[in-house]
Structure 1
Amino acid sequence: MSFGARSRAVLALLGTLGLSLAAAASPASAAGGTPTAPTQLFNGYRNCSTDADRPTFWAGYNLVVEGIPGTTDPADNSPLSVRYQVWPVADPSRTETVTHDRATPGDEARSLLPNDMLADGQTYAWRAQTVAGDAASDWSAPCYVTVDDTRPTSAPTVTSPNYPPNQWNQGGDPVRVTLNANGADDVAGFQYSWTGTLESIVLADFGDHGIPQPRDPYADPGHFIRADTTGGSATVDLVPPQGGVVTLWVRSLDRAFNPSETTSYHFYVSPTPPTVTPADPSPQFGDTTTFTLRPDAALQSRSPVVSYSVHTFGGPDGDRSFDVAAAADGTATTELTIDGINGEQLYVTSKSANGWVSDPAFWGIDYDTTPTVASDVYPENDSGGGVGVPGTFTFTPKVKGVVSYTYTFDTEPEVTVAAGADGTASIDWAPHSAGSYGLQVHATTRSGIELATYAYSFTVN
């Protein structure tokens, strides 16, 4: 359940104005067992609070209340009803009742409290009762919820002692930021993001029998932090995703998770990428070489680099990622086989002991793995031969380890031929008609890698 979502359930709303709290039906036996008071009580998909001094806070329309009905006979699955009573704590005489009919024993039975009764800033009590025919359970203990539809009155302030705004700063230390409610006295915490997008706040997931599993957004320190007191402030250490121009976006949240306007905090971080050096400066397809990874010197002096994340792109098995531990001086080595069919690229970041992740370093190489194709009778991009005139096509590799070639002339079926010991192969072919033709051919290596395809065009006289 995301903050601000609207329930789509169609439920029976039976308003009974002025019903006395003392008018609850008395418990009585029912066929199959005696109704028991509903359990697993939630409002707004958040836990019921039975403490009148510490109510749950809710924002928005369609406040859902729910509980699980049952009887003393666990084998009886006859439909039940759940009756919900709600009243303002300030005026218990204004009681209304909502009923969920034909509820399933053991499953959450949801109803909506009347919107026209719920006023901003007011605290309400509600309770639940299971009904089976003429029999009814005891009422549950009251739950307390305060309606809060008012957003915080001001956006938060953001300050940082080690990354001042609008100037360049040396990267390497987490950014210490202090967030302040800026006079909004109902702020309970803050939400922040480096991307400019502050996601919808998820307050609950759902488990078996429809039981909400409330989430605490503040359990995610990468995006949320509680204020030290309501209307107070919070200090958090954060690591930006990259150097250069950096912006932190922050908004305050009240106890109902109403958001304030957003504040943006801009500063600049000097880039801190590592260096990536291959032992062979120009490795080709199939070569194995050792790469040395070295940390940015300024970064290493602030907090030692402890590992590197290496991402490779262009390989035959898709993109790969792996981590490499660093030595005490922050350096590391890794051995890689270059086997991308059009080249290969590396993307490397370092991670320091204090959690700082560097900007990425890039290394890459491009090469050609298509075969060379030659024919005396049917030269490339030229005309020759004739209908029924055979021609020989010779395939020569540009890389080592080629064991076969797969080719096709236009829409003809593919054919695979073995390569000789020197990696070459020759085929004979005769056209059935004059005109333009296209030959597509690729090589396959001993390890099963299909290399890049070469397109060879010619015209038959």
Structure 2
Amino acid sequence: MRTSPRAHARVALAAGAGLTLALLVPGAAGAATGTPNVPTDLYNAYQPCATDPNAPLVVAGRGSGVTVEGIPRHTSPSAYYLTEQFRYWPVADPTQIATVERTWSTPGYEATADLPGLVDGSTYAWQARTVDPSNGAASDWTASCYVLADDTFPSQPPTVVSPNYPEDRSSQGGAPIHLELGSNGVSDIVGFQYSWNGVFSVSGADIGEHGIPHYNDPFDGPRSAVRADTLGGTASVDLMPPSPSWIQDLYVRSVDRAMNPSPTYHYRFRINVDAPKITKLSNAPYGKPATFKFTPDAGVQAASPVVSYTITRFGSDDPVVLPAEPSGVATTTLSLAPGETMTVSSLSANGWTSQRNWWRDETDTTTTVTSAQFPANTSSPAAPGSFHFAPKTETSQIASYTYAFGWSDAPTTVPAGKKGELDVTWTPPYSGWYYLVVHATTKDGVQLADTYYWFGVN
């Protein structure tokens, strides 16, 4: 069992709260007057006690046993510490009574103890009473609560079937995965838990005022479990994959009345490529806004209309959400630098998120370098020479070139000619191998890709 991080801290069970057959424990300062009252707010395993012997609360009794609790009470406001005793016995043999107690209990607040030694498959009754350790006075015992110890785990994993996303097959995406879950012959299954990462939620409680637990039923709240239609029965559920991956892994296990889990069933299926189509409608110059059209996958659109697209640009942590038209199509104007990448996914009205499509401006923005005196990858005689720089495309947009001969040479920037080209004269200072690195810059200040030109001088 767990308690919520929001829960008030519960005082740890004292070392003296172990198993004992003593009914009275003197010694703690208590009330000089007044009488102890019968405990109230009885809980076991953080759930309200069951008072019907024919319908006991089914709990796991292994380990330290079942946690029981109740609020000790006293008629005197000067009673600072009380002892709460718990006695329990197997219903099949009421003579086998054992008693545990919690000393130094605070009046008006839940006091806890553990009932150890419960036998798997046996039903037990338990009661509580308040004892005043200052004078040995004791209240009446409460009415009995009943628990059935169940330490046997389900022997079989559940059966898992999906008609629209069959196991180990590829299917069209766009609709929730419909799952049919079965108990696989295990008679005491109450429900099923599922997870996309193999980590399952566990039952527990939030602790409220006066230490009263508020049990968190795993079948209530956020969907991570579904109750079976009958004990040992079946259930169905519709789920959305949490991520738009091609391969989807779902983990399912069944649980019995004591929340003992079965072996886990690993259900794997695949989703066909369902990313939207990206079309560039305008051939804008370098760095200028261009119009893009996003078209939904036909199968996704048929399952549920696409309502928006999420656009993520490489290096940006702020995706842009673009509403779609009723047809599922959307258009937008974007300014992407040469070589910049963006991804686009669609969101449908039913919550389905498609896989991502990638788009990259593959325009070659390197510079064409030619030299009659110093051909590329060739060693030539030492003499003055020239290099001609020209862009691959969009010559009218080139404003300048920046170049350097080798890593130790300071970069030089020279304006481009009217046609976006440039001739550079150069005299080699020594013989050896050189590399020329050059890039163009557009009139809008966009730096284009570097070009490396290797050559040798005799």
- If the TM-score is normalised by the length of the shorter chain, which range does it land in? 0.5 to 0.7
Report the Cα distance in structure 1 between the residues aligned to 2:286 and 2:43, rounded to whole angstroms. Answer: 63
Moved more, 133-142 or 60-69: 133-142
Query: What residue number does 2:203 align with?
Result: 202
Query: What residue number does 1:436 align with?
Result: none
Per-residue Cα deviation, 1:91-139 (whole angstroms, up to 9, x for no partner) = 222211111001122332121112x2x0001111212222223333333
Query: What residue number does 2:456 align with?
Result: none
How far has the Cα of 1:173 moved from its partner?
A: 2.0
Query: What residue number does 1:145 align with?
Result: 147
- On the 8 A contact 1:217/1:224 being kept in 2, the answer is yes
How far has the Cα of 1:344 moved from its partner?
A: 6.9
Whether 2:120 is the aligned partner of 1:120: answer yes
- On the 8 A contact 2:194/2:200 being kept in 1, the answer is no
Per-residue Cα deviation, 1:23-59 (whole angstroms, up to 9, x for no partner) = 9xxxxx9546543333332222233222333322222
Query: What residue number does 1:302 align with?
Result: 303
Query: What residue number does 2:106 align with?
Result: 104
When residues 311 and 224 of structure 1 are mapped into structure 2, their CA distance, relative to the original with a 3 A threshold, is: farther
How far has the Cα of 1:254 moved from its partner?
A: 0.7
Query: What residue number does 2:328 align with?
Result: 330
When residues 308 and 108 of structure 1 are mapped into structure 2, their CA distance, relative to the original with a 3 A threshold, is: farther
Q: Structure 1: which amino acid aligns with 2:200? A: E
Query: What residue number does 2:232 align with?
Result: 231
Report the Cα distance in structure 2 between the residues aligned to 1:261 and 1:251, rounded to whole angstroms. Answer: 6
Moved more, 88-97 or 306-315: 306-315
Whether 2:385 is the aligned partner of 1:382: answer no
When residues 201 and 380 of structure 1 are mapped into structure 2, their CA distance, relative to the original with a 3 A threshold, is: same
- On the 8 A contact 2:13/2:102 being kept in 1, the answer is no
Report the Cα distance in structure 2 between the residues aligned to 1:11 and 1:281, rounded to whole angstroms. Answer: 79
Q: Structure 1: which amino acid aligns with 2:267? A: Y
Task: Give the one of 338, 341, 352 matched to 2:348.
Answer: 352
Query: What residue number does 1:38 align with?
Result: 39
Task: Give the one of 90, 93, 107 matched to 2:92.
Answer: 90
Whether 2:213 is the aligned partner of 1:212: answer yes
Normalising by structure 2, we get a TM-score of 0.67
When residues 201 and 362 of structure 1 are mapped into structure 2, their CA distance, relative to the original with a 3 A threshold, is: farther
Gapped regions of structure 2 (runs ≥ 5): 4-10, 25-29, 366-399, 415-458
- On the 8 A contact 1:127/1:140 being kept in 2, the answer is yes
Per-residue Cα deviation, 1:410-441 (whole angstroms, up to 9, x for no partner) = xxxxxxxxxxxxxxxxxxxxxxxxxxxxxxxx
When residues 291 and 220 of structure 1 are mapped into structure 2, their CA distance, relative to the original with a 3 A threshold, is: farther
Moved more, 89-98 or 322-331: 322-331
Q: Structure 1: which amino acid aligns with 2:272? A: S
Q: Structure 1: which amino acid aligns with 2:82? A: L
Per-residue Cα deviation, 1:348-404 (whole angstroms, up to 9, x for no partner) = 432323332222334467999xxx9x999xx994389xxxxxxxx9999xxxxxxxx
Report the Cα distance in structure 2 between the residues aligned to 1:171 and 1:77, rounded to whole angstroms. Answer: 66
Report the Cα distance in structure 1 between the residues aligned to 2:226 and 2:15, rounded to whole angstroms. Answer: 37
Task: Give the one of 259, 262, 266 matched to 2:261.
Answer: 259
When residues 242 and 52 of structure 1 are mapped into structure 2, their CA distance, relative to the original with a 3 A threshold, is: farther
- On the 8 A contact 1:222/1:238 being kept in 2, the answer is no
State percent identity of aligned pairs.
43
SS of 2:299's partner is helix
Report the Cα distance in structure 2 between the residues aligned to 1:299 and 1:292, rounded to whole angstroms. Answer: 17
Whether 2:16 is the aligned partner of 1:12: answer yes
SS of 1:320's partner is coil
Q: Structure 2: which amino acid aligns with 1:354? A: N
Report the Cα distance in structure 2 between the residues aligned to 1:210 and 1:41, rounded to whole angstroms. Answer: 11
Report the Cα distance in structure 2 between the residues aligned to 1:270 and 1:232, rounded to whole angstroms. Answer: 33
Query: What residue number does 2:184 align with?
Result: 182
Gapped regions of structure 1 (runs ≥ 5): 24-28, 385-392, 397-461
Report the Cα distance in structure 1 between the residues aligned to 2:239 and 2:180, rounded to whole angstroms. Answer: 11
Q: Structure 1: which amino acid aligns with 2:36? A: P
Query: What residue number does 1:246 align with?
Result: 248
Moved more, 97-106 or 59-68: 59-68
Corresponding pairs, count:
363
Report the Cα distance in structure 2 between the residues aligned to 1:321 and 1:90, rounded to whole angstroms. Answer: 65
How far has the Cα of 1:192 moved from its partner?
A: 1.7
Q: Structure 2: which amino acid aligns with 1:12? A: G
How far has the Cα of 1:178 moved from its partner?
A: 0.9
- On the 8 A contact 2:253/2:262 being kept in 1, the answer is yes
Query: What residue number does 1:167 align with?
Result: 169
- On the 8 A contact 1:17/1:94 being kept in 2, the answer is no
When residues 353 and 119 of structure 1 are mapped into structure 2, their CA distance, relative to the original with a 3 A threshold, is: same
Normalising by structure 1, we get a TM-score of 0.66
